[in-house]
Structure 1
Amino acid sequence: MIIRRIIMSISAFIRLTRPLHIIKNISVFLPAFFYGVITEWRLFHNLVPTFIAFYIASCIVYILNDIFDRKEDALHPLKKTRPLASGKITVRSALIMIIFLSILLLLFCIISLRASINVLILFYIILNILYSSFFKKVIILDAITVSAGFILRIVAGFVSIGYNTNYYLVIWIFLLAIIIALAKRIRRFPQTDRDAFETTIVEQTYTILSPIVVIVYYLFVSSLQSPYLLISTILLQIGLIRFVYYLFYENDYHSPFEILFLDRKMQTIILSYIIFMLFFIYLID
């Protein structure tokens, strides 16, 4: 019985850090991946501490966000199962975990990272504190703040490998992240006027941003000076179409990142894209 309780407690603390969202922090590797240097051990070795630091920082802000939202989450049909909303973890325990992770992050950053990356991580945490306390209440600020987190990771990735920042990549990821972040505002069956309004705003934003995302991506892969990579624009378009279709016609509510783990067609498109890029970046070029 005691062992079972310990296992359940550990499981609840792990869920509190949202392990599925680790995929966000993988974005620090994107600069090295696209520039064909991720297989160079020295550069990869520089990226791993950056990834770990952003992962710890993201765990801190997820816990903080759940503390802010625990009362609202308790009334939500899906979010009510979250550890804090369901009462499996107390606010006091969550705060102790934040303190522990903050000390761990501080020591790790001092020992393993350069000052410029530490500044980016600090800015990431401050940005997310503002997000949890205010920005997420405004649909546009919500999406922009989430997208800014990806920009910080991308820039940190460039700093880690010592490359100049490619602003086409930064803008592309920023716009793509806005599309993904806005997904949580979609309701196939709006229950309130606010839901209907937010869904309409997202539809209009998708109409505007989708072609821009494709154009900026085309400019980015063109800057890599490989004609083969331009073909990947087709896969990006297919992926965007599938993502939007899933949201509006096959899904009532899910975290946009859960779609990557739930939708087989989306997984197939992403896997095809990764294989295509690996082949032409690392084998052909």
Structure 2
Amino acid sequence: MAETLLHRQRTHRPPAPRPPSRRPGTLAGGLLRTARPKQWVKNLLVVAAPAAAGRLFSPHTAGRLVLVFVLFTACSAAVYLVNDARDAEADRAHPTKRHRPIASGRVPVSAAYGVAGVLAVLAPAAALRLTTPAVAVLLTAYLGMQLAYCVALKHVLVVDLVVVTTGFLMRAAAGGLALGIPLSRWFLITTGFGALFMVAAKRYSEAVQLAGTAGATRVLLTEYTTGYLRFVWQLAAGVAVLGYCLWALEEGGVAPTSLLPWRQLSVVAFVLAVLRYAVFADRGAAGEPEEVVLGDRALALIGLAWLAMYALAVANW
């Protein structure tokens, strides 16, 4: 009887764990996911300066902006790959980040570093050859700043907010540099503080959602207070609105060909958009800005109304 049981135990051993899947596309899919396709919408800021200058539909503009968009996307993908490779161990302790391809083991750390290195070299080189030296310098500076952020700066209070905000500002400036468009001081102020508003609201939301959760987020968030982060995004929102109002009222009058003062009227839509986004920030639900912007129907309608009035103001219709 004992021999029979022993025989059964030997013949009915649990199956050995299967090795990780090596299906074609698994590594490529993991790399693509690590590159954050949802975040690519941020790179559409490259059209901001040409749109503000009324040159969005001029000859050769579209092709040049698409190229700059692709180059910035390559640079940001390189940064995300390095960031996730460095944070793999910490991400495994996070309730959601542990599912990221590198943290879960789907993408080897060495592969992430290798692809990031290739993208970081090719993007500025392509910019130097296909656009302008200023764009190549800007992309190189962006890579250097963001890699420094991944290594050390994201652990420094306030500096982390400034670095992320500057990344948005660089995107907005890239389109103007690619086309030789002077950048207005009001454009830079509104874009910079508008970006700080969204970045601080994101940090505030993360701090609210993960408060008291040990090991679930980076240490820096525990050093910020929610009161301080709330103060930052409220201050940034106020400065962004002020900068936009100064731009809208700078010329004061209405162009002879304009039916209505579109420049001044666009202030209403801009302020409503800020107030609508602030609803999510106040609730601590602005942790993913792209999901807020693309997922809220009311905000989308306000954004379309602002875009229409802004375009009419730039075109002097």
TM-score, normalised relative to structure 1: 0.88
Query: Aligned to 1:213, what secondary structure does the other structure show?
Result: helix
Q: Distance in 2 between matches of 1:224 and 1:10?
A: 52
Residue equivalent to 1:229? 263
The answer to whether the 8 A contact 1:128-1:145 is kept is yes
31-40 or 272-281, which moves further after superposition? 272-281
1:21 alignment partner AA: Q
User: Compared with structure 1, are the counterparts of its residues 224 and 128 closer, same or farther at alpha carbon in structure 2 (3 Å cutoff)?
Assistant: farther
Residue equivalent to 1:191? 212
1:161 alignment partner AA: L
Q: Are positions 1:215 and 2:245 aligned together?
A: no
CA positional deviation for 1:41:
2.1
Give the alignment partner of residue 275 of structure 1, picking from 308, 313, 317: 308
Q: Are positions 1:82 and 2:87 aligned together?
A: no
The answer to whether the 8 A contact 2:47-2:65 is kept is yes
2:160 alignment partner AA: D
The answer to whether the 8 A contact 2:128-2:135 is kept is no
Q: Distance in 2 between matches of 1:76 and 1:216?
A: 38
Residue equivalent to 1:9? 27
User: Compared with structure 1, are the counterparts of its residues 258 and 48 closer, same or farther at alpha carbon in structure 2 (3 Å cutoff)?
Assistant: same
- Runs of 4+ deviating beyond 4 Å: 192-197, 223-226
User: Compared with structure 1, are the counterparts of its residues 269 and 138 closer, same or farther at alpha carbon in structure 2 (3 Å cutoff)?
Assistant: farther
Residue equivalent to 2:38? 20
Q: Distance in 2 between matches of 1:108 and 1:224?
A: 39
1:134 alignment partner AA: A
The CA RMSD measured in Å over matched residues stands at 2.6
The answer to whether the 8 A contact 2:186-2:244 is kept is yes
Tell me the matched-pair count: 282
CA positional deviation for 1:118:
0.8
Residue equivalent to 2:112? 94
In structure 2, stretches of 5+ residues that fail to align are: 1-19, 215-220, 255-260
1:220 alignment partner AA: W
Query: Aligned to 1:24, what secondary structure does the other structure show?
Result: helix
| CA displacement 1:41-98 (0-9 Å, x = unmatched) | 2233333322222111111111111112222222112222211122211101111211
Query: Aligned to 1:40, what secondary structure does the other structure show?
Result: coil
State the identity as a percent.
23
253-262 or 156-165, which moves further after superposition? 253-262
Q: Are positions 1:249 and 2:283 aligned together?
A: yes
User: Compared with structure 1, are the counterparts of its residues 78 and 198 closer, same or farther at alpha carbon in structure 2 (3 Å cutoff)?
Assistant: farther
Query: Aligned to 1:5, what secondary structure does the other structure show?
Result: coil
Residue equivalent to 1:205? 232
Residue equivalent to 1:47? 65
Q: Higher helix share goes to which structure?
A: 1
The answer to whether the 8 A contact 1:185-1:198 is kept is no
1:234 alignment partner AA: V
Q: Distance in 2 between matches of 1:7 and 1:236?
A: 43
The answer to whether the 8 A contact 1:32-1:157 is kept is yes
| CA displacement 1:226-278 (0-9 Å, x = unmatched) | 63122122222222222121133262x73222322333332232233223323
The answer to whether the 8 A contact 2:92-2:104 is kept is yes
CA positional deviation for 1:224:
7.0
User: Compared with structure 1, are the counterparts of its residues 126 and 170 closer, same or farther at alpha carbon in structure 2 (3 Å cutoff)?
Assistant: same
Which protein is bigger by CA-based radius of gyration?
A: 2
Q: Distance in 2 between matches of 1:64 and 1:263?
A: 31
Q: Distance in 1 between matches of 2:213 and 2:66?
A: 45
1:203 alignment partner AA: R
